[in-house]
Amino acid sequence: MSTASSSGFDADALRRGIESRDAATLLTLYSDDAEIRMVDHRDQPSHPRVMHGRSAISAMFDDVCAREMTHSLDSVLIDGDHIAFVESCRYPDGTRVLAHSMANLRDGRIVDQTSIQAWDEE
């Protein structure tokens, strides 16, 4: 049973993609002209890392999904043409990463996403 919302966004596919480290499934959730802005310790709010278009987003997903780590979709909220979700990750050495994302949807796909992530630091 799918949990596609009235916006057409498929939260089950989001969960499968994240928790199975499936870059191809994740990419299907983004429009061709989507943009992701990532903010973290290195890429601060005034100069976020920006990935624009499916090619750049695909490369980022390929990199992240290839890493030996576990991913969990902790929560997801869909409200009309907006989605928010929280992802937690853990590397084999115990290092944890937490990412909060907010995105706009068009025709059931993400078109604009901002993610803020925090990593364990020594």
- Tens digits of residue pLDDT in 38-71: 999 999 999 999 999 999 999 999 999 999 999 9
- pLDDT of 99 higher than 70: yes
Q: Evaluate whether 89 touches 71 at the Cβ level (below 8 Å).
A: yes
- Which pLDDT score is estimated for 6? 62
Nearest alpha carbon to residue 38 among 96, 122, 100: 100
Percent of the chain with pLDDT over 70: 94
Nearest alpha carbon to residue 99 among 122, 81, 76, 66: 76
Q: Evaluate whether 99 touches 113 at the Cβ level (below 8 Å).
A: no
Nearest alpha carbon to residue 104 among 4, 34, 40: 34
Place of tokens 């995105």: 103
pTM of the model: 0.90
Average pLDDT over residues 20-41: 97
Residue 93 one-letter amino acid: D
- Digit-coded pLDDT (tens) for 74-89: 999 999 999 999 999 9
